[in-house]
């Protein structure tokens, strides 16, 4: 799997439109933000994972350390095993020690998990099972995925320039419910003797209501438009989803709510992506649509994400995969992970000034013409993962 691209939050709607102040430490009303004033030392759990994960996490760690020294706070890092690396070392994709360390930390930065080596493992021994388990274990139910077309990279989009230019979308995906977690699930035999596989798309009112409120809050601080995506013409779970999102809308009269079936949404994202501001949807639809939206930007290797809950630490990670075909070759684009680190600072620790420093450094690096292979175009300077990280650090160093 080739690694693709990400988005500097300085140009992202995340930093431009969402002011997102920190709430009190015990409970954060929308998503879990942490205060920055009283505490100047934080524990960060690093989960490098598999493939290119260790390469990009190492670069992001350097950026975090540098910005901490410039802003006057300390970050203490603890590296733990997860995914295929954990399977090889201890036989499970998410060791108990890793989950315990993550829960005890202030925020978690994840690289990537998975690879061809483990594709034929039984389900409970797949790296991806570790990812689902840590999301559930941390209670992070809201996944925020921005997809913004940067002026520096508009020509990298596969869409026509007039279609891609100015796109700024936030996908809010429900992360811990739906068909990925619903039961019953498994394998069996039908009355004809045929082997079958089955899963359950299941949502409770409380699960829908809490993700809807997060999405309305996000939309309120962006462009004031929220599109709820479902399949309410066919699926009962989606019928309840639409009913509850419509009900929650009465709490946010300043936000314009619309509904769209998922098949139409997939088409409209390619046809006219600028019609969307904030999208909220269930787990499986969000998984697919956020990847589609990311490709409008030109490369999945540029896009960060945040997974947050009502309390406890958040999980921050690039949306790209482990890209085992380029792992260890210094070809990975580290910017998505660096920008995930910026989201960690802003939404995980509540230190927005530090997040802005990293965002600005990424923007400056792109303005200076440095590109990894996934975003390279004639006239720019082709660099590897380490060099791209070094250029971001130089841009950070040069800041006052």
Q: Per residue in 314-341, pLDDT tens?
A: 999 998 999 999 999 999 999 999 999 9
Residue 14 pLDDT level (bands cut at 50, 70, 90): very low
80 Cβ partners below 8 Å, 6+ apart? Answer: 45, 46, 47, 95, 97, 98, 101, 102
- pLDDT for the residue numbered 15: 33
**φ, ψ (nearest 5 deg) of residue 156:** -80, -15
For 357-383, the pLDDT digits (tens) are: 999 999 999 999 999 999 998 999 999
Residue 93 Cα distances to 90, 97, 105, 241, 330, angstroms: 8, 11, 20, 32, 25
Candidates 117, 225, 274, 291; catalytic one: 291
- pLDDT for the residue numbered 39: 63
- pLDDT for the residue numbered 17: 37
Task: Yes or no: say if 367 and 151 are a contact pair by the CB < 8 Å rule.
Answer: no
- pLDDT for the residue numbered 30: 46
Q: Where is 371: in which H helix or E strand?
A: strand 370-371
Quick check: helix, strand or coil at residue 43?
strand
Q: Is 364 left (phi over 0), alpha (psi -120 to 50) or beta?
A: alpha
User: Is 277 known to be catalytic?
Assistant: no
For 154-209, the pLDDT digits (tens) are: 988 889 999 999 999 999 999 999 999 999 999 999 999 999 999 999 999 999 99
User: Is 161 known to be catalytic?
Assistant: no
- pLDDT for the residue numbered 298: 80
Say yes or no to pLDDT of 1 above 90.
no
- pLDDT for the residue numbered 92: 98
Task: Yes or no: say if 258 and 227 are a contact pair by the CB < 8 Å rule.
Answer: yes
User: Is 116 known to be catalytic?
Assistant: no
Candidates 161, 263, 367, 394; catalytic one: 263
Tell me the longest C-alpha to C-alpha distance in the chain.
72
For 258-284, the pLDDT digits (tens) are: 999 999 999 999 999 999 999 999 999
Structure token digits, residue 262: 């998922």
- pLDDT for the residue numbered 310: 86
Kindly tell me the sign of the dihedral angle through the C-alpha atoms of 382, 386, 390, 392: positive
- Name the nearest CA neighbour of 321 among 344, 341, 305, 342: 305
Cα angle value 323/132/335 (rounded, 5°): 40
Residue with structure tokens 């809010």?
Answer: 172
For 102-152, the pLDDT digits (tens) are: 999 999 999 999 999 999 999 999 999 999 899 989 999 999 999 989 888
Within 10 angstroms of residue 179's Cβ, the number of other Cβ atoms is 18
- pLDDT for the residue numbered 31: 54
Structure token digits, residue 165: 């230019």
Candidates 61, 221, 231, 331; catalytic one: 231
User: Is 191 known to be catalytic?
Assistant: no
| β-sheet bridge partners, residue 258 | 227
- pLDDT for the residue numbered 400: 85
For 30-89, the pLDDT digits (tens) are: 454 454 444 689 999 999 999 999 999 999 999 999 999 999 999 999 999 999 999 999
Q: How far apart are CA 86 and CA 311, in angstroms?
A: 27
Candidates 180, 221, 277, 356; catalytic one: 180
E strand map for 241-349 = 256-261, 278-281, 302, 304-308, 314-318
Length of the chain in residues, anyone?
400
Taking residues 8-15, report their average pLDDT: 32
Candidates 287, 331, 346, 356; catalytic one: 287
Task: Yes or no: say if 146 and 293 are a contact pair by the CB < 8 Å rule.
Answer: no
pTM above 0.75, yes or no: yes
- pLDDT for the residue numbered 61: 98
């Amino acid at each position: 799997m080739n690694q693709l691209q990400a988005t500097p939050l300085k140009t992202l709607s995340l930093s431009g439109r969402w002011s997102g102040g920190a709430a009190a430490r015990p409970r954060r009303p929308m998503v879990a933000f942490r205060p920055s004033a009283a505490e100047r030392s934080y524990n960060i759990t690093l989960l490098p994972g598999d493939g290119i994960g260790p390469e990009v996490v190492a670069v992001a760690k350097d950026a975090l350390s540098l910005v901490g020294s410039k802003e006057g706070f300390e970050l203490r890092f603890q590296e733990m095993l997860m995914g295929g690396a954990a399977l090889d070392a201890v036989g499970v994709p998410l060791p108990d020690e890793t989950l315990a360390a993550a829960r005890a930390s202030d925020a978690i930065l994840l690289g990537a998990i998975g690879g061809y080596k483990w594709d034929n493992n039984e389900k409970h021994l797949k790296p991806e099972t570790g990812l689902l388990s840590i999301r559930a274990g941390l209670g992070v139910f809201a996944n925020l995925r921005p997809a913004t077309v940067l002026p520096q990279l508009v020509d990298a989009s596969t869409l026509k320039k007039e279609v891609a230019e100015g796109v700024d979308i936030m996908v809010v995906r429900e992360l811990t419910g739906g068909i990925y977690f619903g039961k019953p699930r498994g394998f069996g035999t039908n009355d004809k003797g045929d082997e079958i596989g089955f899963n359950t798309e299941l949502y409770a009112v409380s699960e829908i209501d809490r993700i809807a409120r997060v999405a309305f809050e996000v939309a309120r601080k962006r462009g004031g438009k929220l599109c709820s995506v479902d399949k309410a013409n066919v699926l009962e779970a989606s019928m309840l989803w639409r009913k509850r999102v419509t009900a929650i809308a009465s709490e946010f009269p300043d936000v314009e709510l619309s509904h769209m079936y998922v098949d139409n949404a997939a088409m409209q994202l390619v046809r006219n992506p600028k019609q969307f501001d904030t999208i909220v949807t269930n787990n499986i639809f969000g998984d697919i649509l956020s990847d589609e939206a990311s490709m409008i930007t030109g490369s999945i290797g540029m896009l960060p994400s945040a997974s947050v809950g009502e309390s406890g630490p958040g999980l921050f990670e690039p949306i790209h995969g482990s890209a085992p075909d380029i792992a260890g070759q210094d070809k990975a684009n580290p910017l998505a992970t660096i920008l995930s680190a910026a989201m960690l600072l802003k939404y995980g620790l509540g230190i927005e000034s530090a997040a802005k420093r990293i965002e600005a450094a990424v923007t400056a690096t792109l303005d200076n013409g440095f590109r990894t292979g996934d975003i390279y175009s004639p006239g720019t300077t082709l660099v590897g993962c380490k060099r791209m990280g070094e250029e971001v650090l130089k841009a950070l160093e040069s800041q006052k």
